[in-house]
Chains A and B, each alone.
Chain A
Amino acid sequence: MAEVSCRKVVKEYDGGVQAVKGIDLDIADHEFVVLVGPSGCGKSTTLRMIAGLEEITGGEIWIGGDVVNDVPPRDRDIAMVFQNYALYPHMSVFDNMAFGLKLRKFPKDEIKRRVDEAARILDIGMLLDRKPRALSGGQRQRVAMGRAIVRNPKVFLFDEPLSNLDAKLRVQMRTEIKKVHQTVKTTTVYVTHDQVEAMTLADRVVVMNHGIIEQVGTPQELYHRPTSRFVAGFIGSPAMNFLPCRIDEAGGGGLSVRVNNAVQIPIPAARTSRYAPFKGKEMVFGIRPEHLTQRREEGRPGFEPVELLVDVLEPMGMETMAHFFVDGAPVCARLDPATEAAPDVMLALTADMNQMHLMEKDSGKVV
């Protein structure tokens, strides 16, 4: 068990392309941290630098209190699970799991004990004699996890381990990974581009973009208090609605978000002082689809009526997604599945402005 730290870590490839631009990150012992971001944001490169599979151009990486910049992967006491499993095809499941222990010259009975224990945790005891080609995708990924568990390393590294599985299996394996972490409690760094995976698994989520860390926080923090437009848009599915707006003065000393002549929504009194410096400025108004509903909330502070023309409806069983366009910008709302909304008909909605976000137009910073 160990903590992991990145101090001003830079990765620059030949030709001067910077994949990681000086990130700082501290991961506590036993913590499950997920690095999330779009393709090319530097999350996998960061993980590979922690693993020792990529050289570090600048900065320091610490594992368990030691700088490991020049320590080869085998001496970092880490274990990694790859996206495409990376099982040794000519070895049985047992040998795959035992490989690392054999190289480290563990006694045979200890190897057997550890493999059996990992197989029990992962429920793959009956697969130990099989070759990887005789396993399904989910079973292969379990074996890959088993190979990591048996080593009892300081840190687990997962590089998009569920990306190759089908949607149903992904959900199942996600739960299993969480269960394994609850059992073994090893410090874990997990890379994914799937924000749902990040939210469900992580103690803390690190959102990366263009080689920098946009925000670090618990899933709830990122969801409710994003610090940038990127994080606000990346976390949450469907994504947050963004509308260009101006902050106008409303009656009674209040403020309002003015999207256009037809859509002008009062800002709750509790936020007036916070947004007052931006009066008259061009900003971006953000509201999540789940805060744009058909519920009748008249009179409750912060719940404001909005009327929009329905473009498309997507019934999903437990809810129906309604899509609109406001001045050419797409807007999505989560409706009750029993909604009577219809395309090309005006729909009365309620916007929960207590959950609104306001961002600077140029920097994207949430104010």
Chain B
Amino acid sequence: MSATTADHARTKAKTRKNSLHKQRLWALWGSYAALSVFVVIFLVPPFYTLMTSLKSSAEISAQTGSPWMVNHPSLDNFWYLITYPNFQTYYINSVLVTIVTVAVSMVISVLAAFSLARMGFWGSQTLSTGVFLTYLVPPSLLFIPLFQIVGMLGLINNLWCLILLYPTLAVPFCTWIMIGYFSSIPKELDEAALIDGASYMQILTKIFIPVAMPGIIAATIFAFTVSWGAFLYPLAYLYTSNQMVLTVGIISDLIRGDVFQWGKIMAACLLASLPPIVIYAFLMDYYVAGLTAGATKG
């Protein structure tokens, strides 16, 4: 009797284990399928860009052969761009605008977030919400009134107008991210530092910034993306080659009339994508969650 019961229990356990195994297998297949679709959607355009950038104009316009394959690969398009003075100017301008934007945005965001999250002054809560609300205003709504302001400042067709404007787009969201990170740091850490003799500035630089590094990196990536990829503002405010950044420079220089130099445009896109790829890959290594592990009882 007892042996039969034991056998029954064993069979039941085995069936449950098998069904669990099957469920897990299906879940795996499902996630692989979904990821494959995702990968195809996101990787096909860069692949096409790469293929086209390696082709000559003649090969691009030829009606024969598959557009996905390259028959006579060449780096001519890349070489042309690298040695093309206008492209070099766009690149340098983009790098300059982005470095200054990221630096200015991060300094403002970190200081603002620290004071809003930690210093608990009168109205800090309302101000925090206000900061986030400003992020909800679409930049495309602002560029006309901003044009007036930029015009008044005499910065139309001047690279510095972007350095002035981009932080207004990046700071609210970066501050919001940083408020979240700073708020997650246990209050006892700043209290311990206060008792240890630290000033608020020392608490920020010696405790909060190192501990909230993942948040700072996330905010930095956001500010970088805002600045590097912006199209509307440079299109509206800049019109000479020596002031242009990559996003508008590529289309205004490499589309001449109704002639699209596809090979060069694609090569320029790839070259322009290089800094984000390198920076993302580099920063992601430091983007480690759980840096606060061990600070307090976990």
Contacts and interface: CB of A to CB of B under 8 A. Distances in A.
Interface of A: 51-53, 72-74, 78-80, 82-90, 99-100, 103-104, 131-135, 137, 140, 147, 151, 164
Contacts of A137: 297
Given A88-B192, A147-B192, 20 more contacts: A51-B191, A73-B195, A74-B196, A80-B191, A80-B192, A84-B186, A84-B188, A85-B296, A87-B294, A87-B295, A87-B296, A88-B295, A89-B211, A89-B291, A89-B292, A90-B291, A100-B196, A131-B294, A132-B294, A134-B294
Contact of B191 (A86, A89, A134): A86
Nearest to A133: B294
A90 B193 CA distance: 13
B194 interface: yes
Contacts of B58: none
A104 B197 contact: yes
Nearest to B199: A74
A82 B195 CA distance: 11
Size category of the B interface is: 20 to 34
Contacts of B198: 74, 99, 103
Contacts of B193: 88, 99
Nearest to A99: B196
A133 B293 CA distance: 5
21 contacts: A51-B195, A53-B194, A73-B191, A73-B195, A74-B195, A74-B199, A80-B191, A80-B192, A85-B188, A86-B295, A86-B296, A88-B211, A88-B295, A89-B211, A89-B292, A89-B294, A104-B197, A132-B295, A133-B293, A147-B196, A164-B297
Contacts of A84: 186, 188, 296-297
Contacts, number: 87
B189 interface: yes
Of the candidates B189, B210, B211, the one having the most CB atoms from chain A within 10 angstroms of its own CB is B189
Interface in B188-246: 188-189, 191-199, 202, 206-207, 210-211
A133 B292 CA distance: 8
Interface of B: 186, 188-189, 191-199, 202, 206-207, 210-211, 291-297
A52 B206 CA distance: 21
A78 B195 CA distance: 7
Contacts of B294: 87, 89, 131-135, 140
A88 to B, nearest CB: 6
A52 B196 CA distance: 12
A78 to B, nearest CB: 6
Of the candidates B193, B207, B296, the one having the most CB atoms from chain A within 10 angstroms of its own CB is B296
A266 B285 CA distance: 79
Contact of B211 (A73, A74, A90): A90
Contacts of B188: 82-86
A79 B191 CA distance: 11
Contacts of B192: 80, 82, 86-88, 147
A73 B191 CA distance: 9
B113 to A, nearest CB: 18
A135 B188 CA distance: 18
A91 B210 CA distance: 9
A82 B210 CA distance: 21
B162 to A, nearest CB: 35
Nearest to B185: A89
User: 6 closest A-B pairs (Cβ-Cβ)?
Assistant: A133-B294, A132-B294, A100-B196, A86-B188, A84-B296, A89-B295
B195 A79 contact: yes
A74 B197 contact: yes
A203 B249 CA distance: 78
Of the candidates A73, A89, A103, the one having the most CB atoms from chain B within 10 angstroms of its own CB is A89
